[in-house]
Structure 1
Amino acid sequence: MTEQEVLEAKRLRRAARKVFDAQKDLISADLGAAGIGKRVITRIAEDGRLMAETAIDAADRHRSLVGAGVLALTGFFLRKPLMAFAASIMSGDQAEDDSVEASEPERETEEA
């Protein structure tokens, strides 16, 4: 390698080093403005907003399915009170049937 080639290589190395240092300074300044934690939180928030918008669009397109799902969940969470209500209605009907049957023999005895 001649002396001229060595000097040219040194100039190229210095130019490359300046470009590298400039990019490193830009990245450092960018990270200093918003740390990694803030970047992660921002990214998660943006992704969450995007998912919410997608879900809202899907719900708007399929309202009947959303309604059926809400009804099913409501029924699932209220199944015990609903079953107790149904049992009270059935036992009320049963009690009425028993009282009607019990009163019929009394009528027969009164008629005789």
Structure 2
Amino acid sequence: MTRDEINKILNAAARVIIQKGSINILFEKENVKIKLPTTRELAKEIGTPHYYVLPGFSRMEEEKFVTREERVGIWTTNGGTKILLSILETEFSEETKKILGANIFNLLTEK
């Protein structure tokens, strides 16, 4: 899966997150995960049928950018979180700060 394909899906995820005004973040021992919108929501945002999004997520899971949990949803891994936070920082910084607060957002996006 190319970086452009990953960015396309995660950019759509960022747009849906901003539209909803809600970000679910899970902090674990060595992981920071962000819950992604449903595949149907992402397909709608991208403007493609749902069944075209599913193979993309399978590849992203194989490449360790996301993890799927049955009946729970799709979460980013540390690699996916880094890309998604970069998109939120460069394209939706002010909107994300309104959701998370500037301090938390700045801590998450520290280099």
Give the TM-score normalised by structure 2. 0.21
Greater fraction helix: 1
Greater fraction strand: 2
- Higher relative contact order (Cα pairs below 8 Å, separated by 6+ residues): 2
Give the TM-score normalised by structure 1. 0.21
Larger Cα-atom Rg: 1
